[in-house]
Amino acid sequence: MPVGHYLDTKSIRSHIPVFVMHLLVLGSTGHMYWRRRIGIAMLVVFLPVNAPLFLLAVEAMDITINSPDWFVGLSFLIFFIIGGILAFMPRISLLRLFQNGTQS
């Protein structure tokens, strides 16, 4: 048996579905900050296109929301922007920033 046989992508693909492989790859990134993981999840969940789907799902479950549709869309947009900030902002130490006057 060759040394890298267990890493052969053809044998892995034949036994594991593709979405499971993506989850395994995303879960194996130990160097990723928790805020970036939460930010990426927020980007996917609060995509502004998902606001009408959210309203339809809530309506299908017979739950009434007393806020207008534009407010739900605006809140999805705000959470989407917060997710983008969490996912893509660099790591900044505020203590070092104020002590030295630099960011490094």
pLDDT of 44-63, one tens digit each? 999 999 999 999 999 999 99
Q: Is the pLDDT of residue 103 over 70?
A: no
Domain coordinates in residue numbering, the chain: 32-100
What pLDDT score was predicted for residue 100? Answer: 57
pLDDT band at 35 (very low <50, low <70, confident <90, very high): confident
Q: Is pLDDT of 95 > 90?
A: no
Whether the pLDDT of residue 76 is over 80: the answer is: yes
Sequence-distant (≥ 6) Cβ neighbours of residue 91 within 8 angstroms: 33
First-to-last CA distance in the chain? 48
Would you say the pTM of this structure is higher than 0.75? no
Confidence of residue 1 (pLDDT cuts 50, 70, 90): very low
Q: Is 86 within 8 Å of 36 (Cβ atoms)?
A: yes
Question: Six-digit token pair at 82?
Answer: 């917060």
